[in-house]
Each structure stands twice: as structure tokens, then as C-alpha cells.
């Protein structure tokens, strides 16, 4: 076993070299069984990395053509999408793009799919086999929120899923393409605190067999989770900052009294409520996949919190939260992948106004607002400013902030001249204001590097310019007109350290290749022969 792991590790290194050169293995080892196995294991590792995808609705008056759509997805570095049908135009256009796509069976096709194995087999042949693997189909969502919205069709879901799965087995695609069905959050009752959550008892006769199917086939529980709606329905109980993933002081975190787990955001609590609900039915090995989540950017007066600022904050912080791979309080080892609802504003949607304004972009591909996502590369690269600032967090006493301020202006060598008496940033004369200026000075001097906006947990990164009046913060003095791809978020910067150590994909392959070429590659054939 140990020898096998060493061989696979060595082959993974070689695969890294081959992939950068455009191949999977060097020519001398490309047909090696071990390299083939290693390549499969590398692909499995990649599949385990959580992703952020986008839903693509079709209620858009001027939806880009399939070819233009795929070109736009590539430009925005979007690697996973979900569509609400199995559009042949989109599936064909995605061929060779390496963009993963989840296709869907509409609710009105459940009866035909569940009552005829031949119909299901034909659907798989027509919509999956005809395109895979050139088009990277990753999953099939069967129906949408059937248990809560089309209760009469509830008995049809599992037969349809079984028939589609069996058709995938016949084509030997059951490992690559997973079958599940998305549920509304409303199927879970008493979700707060999460440890008290349980599935609606009247639905258990349908849910339990579904979960057993998911467990048996290695498929995820698909959940459509919207903190926006929970916040709107519980205003005064759920703080807005908790719904938006904003940094919280410990006294503002939600605490589950039964488990003493601390929740810093509402989505994690909703995900854990799903896990606790499954635990109550003795299902412990099914991961949660968030098939829809998001925040509307505009609405009528009845929805005052549907604003571009809130939508920007929610989606930016959501993206960063997933790429931090910090999991949930109940399952810190497991980070759920998510699909943002949605890519484009669907202007053909029926009222209310908010229904047409969940999109990250307008149909003409201009951004609805500029996302700010820190430290995750070029995903959704539509921000042209890349401007972030470091400020003091609310909720800390003056003594704690003063100690951090003293360090920044002393050993940290921040430029604190502007907060001296009589200078432009002296007012308002309080520790929090002065600390924010000093923190930002240090953060900007350090090139906004990960870990330079922490100050023992009292500082946070923000995309909102803290400058006021004649006081211009250091970050605003350095704004460049250059267009940058990386976008930023309002998160605690020490999370970047977790990302750096936990994410396999963050290894600097180019530097590794140099080392491997010098020290390892000349001897690798011999090493493999010895090990084998």
C-alpha cells in the first residue's frame, strides 16, 4: 500500500509537468497503468474541491446566443453552471470548454421519466451520451422543489431518479454524473438552532427513500437556500450582518444552545440544519450541495433590503467563504459547493420586482454590480478597481484598539502623521477612527497581502472607502486606473492563511516544476522501476 501511494504521488508530480506542457504524462510514461491511476486520482481530488457556479435562467428577453454565452463564461472564469433544461445549443457550445454543467429534468417531464425506463434511457442517450465527455456534464437535477411546490408529483421523483440512474449505469457514467433533486428550505422545520431541525414529518415517506438513494449512489442532497428570505421573514430576530456574511464580533455570533457551536453566518446555519435533519433519519454520508442561493439587487418598497450594495456584499462574501474551505461549524471538514442564483437578470419574470433582479449581470453582459472577492484569482473578473481598505471592526473596547494602533504606528511603521492633532484625519478624534487610518496605512504598505489586516482580530477588510471630508485614506491615494482581474471582499484577512494551506490548487506549480526538472525528473524512470 505504501509503495502504491509513493508511485501515485510521483505520477501526480509528473502529471503536473505534463499538464502544464499540454499533456497528461510525459511520453515515456503516458501508457503506464500507474500514471493512468494517478490521473484518475488527481481528477477525483479536483472534484472534491468546492466550487462556486452560477444558475442560468432563460426568462431573459435578449439572452446571448449559446456561443456568445460560453465565450462570456470563459471570460469571467466561470467553471460550473446549472441550466434548467438540457438545451442542445448550450450543451453543444460547451463542448471542449471544460466548463462543468448540471442539466435538469423539468417538473412536467417527471411522469414520463418515472413511468418508463425506455423514456429515461432515451433522455440520457439524447442529452448526456450524445455530448459527454466533450461537454463536461456533472449532474442531473430531477425536477425542482417538487415536494414543496408540486406535492402531487412527489411520488414521481424517486422512480424518475432511479430510471435515469440506471440509464447512466448502462452507459458506465454513474460515477461521473450524479442524480439528485433540488429542495426548498421549507421542507426543514424548526431550522434554528440547527440542532433542532428536522424534516417535515408529512414528507418523510418521500424524503427518506430519496436520501437512501443519494447515500447508495454517492450523490448530494440539493438544497435551495436563501438567507435573504429568512432575514426578511425574521426581521428584528436575524441581524442583517449575519445574513450578509459580514465579520462579527464574538458576542454577535449565533450560538446553538444544544451544541454550543458558533455561527457567523446564516447560510452555514441553514446547511447544518440540513445535516441535522438527515442525522435524525440516520443518514450521515450525504453531502449538501447548494443549488441556489443569492440576493436580489432591486425591488419595490416592500423589500427595502434588496439593494445592489447588499447583493454585492452577500455574493462577494459567499464566494470568498466557499473558497476559504472552512466548512460549517458542524462539519468544518466539508465545504458545500454552491450555485449562485443567477447569472443574468431575468427581465421576463412575473412580479414582484425582485424576481427579475437576482442576476450578477444584465443580458447584455454588463455587470449589475461589481463583485469584490479577495484572494481567489480571477473568478468573476468584472471589477476594474480591485480596491480594498483595512479598518477597525465595531464592538471592541478602546484599550484593545489602542494597543493595535500603537503597534501599527510603532513596530508596524505605518504612516500615522495624518492622525496627529491639527492634521486632516485627526477628526473625529477617537481611537477607532485613528486605528482605522493606521491599519489601512500598514495594509497598503504591505501591498494588501493576506494576513496584513488582522491586528489580533480587531481589523477587517472592506470595499467601502472610509475616507471622509478632507481625510483621504491611504488606499484611496493609491487607486490605479489599471484594469485588474482579481476582485475583493469584506472578509477577515486571516482566512487567507487557511486558504493558502488548505487548498490543493494553490500550490505554485511553476516553481515546483523547476525543482522537479532539476532534481526528480532525470531519475524518475529509475525510481519507478525500483518501486515496481
Residues designated catalytic: 145, 292
Q: What is the DSSP letter of 220?
A: P
CA distance 300 to 327: 35
The SS3 of residue 528 is: helix
CA torsion through residues 473, 474, 480, 485, sign: negative
Residues 6+ apart with CB under 8 A from 195: 256, 258, 259, 261, 276
- Please measure the distance between the N-terminal and C-terminal CA atoms of the chain and give it in whole angstroms: 12
- Extended strands (E) in 98-189: 100-105, 137-142, 178-180, 182-184, 188-189
CA torsion through residues 123, 129, 133, 135, sign: negative
Whole-angstrom CA distances from 170 to 128, 136, 159, 163, 179 are 12, 18, 17, 11, 14
CA torsion through residues 221, 95, 88, 172, sign: negative
Contact between 368 and 311 under an 8 Å Cβ cutoff? The reply is: yes
Cell of 74: 470563459
Cell of 108: 412536467
CA distance 368 to 346: 12
CA distance 341 to 304: 19
Cell of 26: 510525459
Contact between 105 and 160 under an 8 Å Cβ cutoff? The reply is: yes
Whole-angstrom CA distances from 409 to 406, 417, 437, 438, 441 are 5, 9, 10, 7, 9
Amino acid at each position: 500500500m505504501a509503495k502504491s501511494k509513493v508511485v501515485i504521488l510521483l505520477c501526480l508530480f509528473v502529471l503536473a509537468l505534463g499538464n502544464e506542457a499540454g499533456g497528461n504524462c510525459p511520453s515515456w510514461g503516458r501508457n503506464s497503468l500507474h500514471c493512468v491511476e494517478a490521473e484518475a486520482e488527481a481528477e477525483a481530488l479536483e472534484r472534491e474541491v468546492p466550487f462556486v457556479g452560477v444558475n442560468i435562467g432563460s426568462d431573459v428577453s435578449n439572452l446571448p446566443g449559446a456561443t456568445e454565452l460560453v465565450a462570456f463564461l470563459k471570460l469571467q472564469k466561470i467553471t460550473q453552471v446549472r441550466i434548467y433544461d438540457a438545451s442542445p445549443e448550450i450543451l453543444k457550445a460547451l463542448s471542449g470548454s471544460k466548463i462543468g454543467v448540471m442539466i435538469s429534468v423539468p417538473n412536467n417531464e417527471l411522469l414520463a421519466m418515472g413511468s418508463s425506463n425506455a423514456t429515461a434511457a432515451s433522455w440520457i442517450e439524447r442529452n448526456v451520451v450524445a455530448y459527454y465527455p466533450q461537454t463536461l456534464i456533472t449532474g442531473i437535477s430531477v425536477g425542482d422543489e417538487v415536494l414543496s411546490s408540486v406535492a402531487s408529483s412527489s411520488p414521481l421523483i424517486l422512480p424518475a431518479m432511479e430510471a435515469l440512474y440506471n440509464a447512466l449505469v448502462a452507459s458506465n457514467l454513474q460515477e461521473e454524473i450524479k442524480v439528485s433533486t433540488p429542495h426548498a428550505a421549507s421542507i426543514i422545520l424548526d431550522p434554528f438552532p440547527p440542532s433542532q431541525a428536522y424534516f417535515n414529518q408529512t414528507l418523510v415517506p418521500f424524503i427518506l427513500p430519496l436520501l437512501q438513494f443519494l447515500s447508495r449512489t454517492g450523490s448530494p442532497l440539493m438544497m435551495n437556500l436563501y438567507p435573504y428570505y429568512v432575514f426578511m421573514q425574521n426581521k428584528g430576530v436575524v441581524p442583517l450582518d449575519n445574513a450578509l456574511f459580514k465579520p462579527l464580533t464574538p458576542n454577535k455570533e449565533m450560538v446553538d444552545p444544544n451544541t454550543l457551536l458558533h455561527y457567523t453566518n446564516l447560510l452555514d446555519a441553514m446547511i447544518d440544519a440540513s445535516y441535522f435533519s438527515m442525522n435524525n433519519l440516520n443518514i450521515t454520508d450525504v453531502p449538501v450541495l447548494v443549488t441556489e442561493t443569492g440576493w436580489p439587487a432591486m425591488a419595490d418598497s416592500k423589500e427595502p433590503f434588496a439593494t445592489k450594495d447588499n447583493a454585492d456584499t452577500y455574493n462577494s462574501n459567499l464566494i470568498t467563504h466557499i473558497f476559504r474551505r472552512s466548512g460549517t461549524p458542524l462539519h468544518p471538514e466539508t465545504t458545500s459547493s454552491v450555485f449562485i442564483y443567477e447569472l443574468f437578470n431575468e427581465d421576463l419574470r412575473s412580479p414582484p420586482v425582485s424576481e427579475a433582479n437576482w442576476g450578477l449581470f444584465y443580458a447584455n453582459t454588463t455587470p449589475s454590480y461589481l463583485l469584490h472577492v479577495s484572494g481567489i484569482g480571477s473568478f468573476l473578473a468584472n471589477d476594474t478597481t480591485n480596491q480594498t481598505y483595512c479598518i477597525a471592526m465595531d464592538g471592541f473596547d478602546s484599550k484593545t484598539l489602542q494597543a493595535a494602533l500603537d503597534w501599527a504606528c510603532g513596530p508596524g511603521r505605518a504612516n500615522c502623521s495624518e492622525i496627529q492633532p491639527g492634521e486632516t484625519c485627526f477628526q473625529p478624534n477617537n481611537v477607532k477612527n485613528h486605528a482605522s487610518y493606521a491599519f489601512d496605512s500598514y495594509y497598503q504598505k504591505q501591498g494588501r497581502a493576506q494576513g496584513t489586516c488582522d491586528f489580533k482580530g480587531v481589523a477587517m477588510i472592506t470595499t467601502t472607502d472610509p475616507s471622509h471630508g478632507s481625510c483621504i485614506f491611504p488606499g484611496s491615494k493609491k487607486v490605479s486606473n489599471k484594469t485588474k482581474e482579481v476582485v475583493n471582499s469584506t472578509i477577515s484577512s486571516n482566512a487567507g492563511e487557511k486558504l493558502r494551506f488548505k487548498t490543493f490548487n494553490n500550490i505554485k506549480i511553476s516553481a515546483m516544476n523547476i525543482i522537479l526538472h532539476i532534481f526528480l525528473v532525470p531519475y524518475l524512470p529509475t525510481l519507478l522501476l525500483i518501486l515496481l
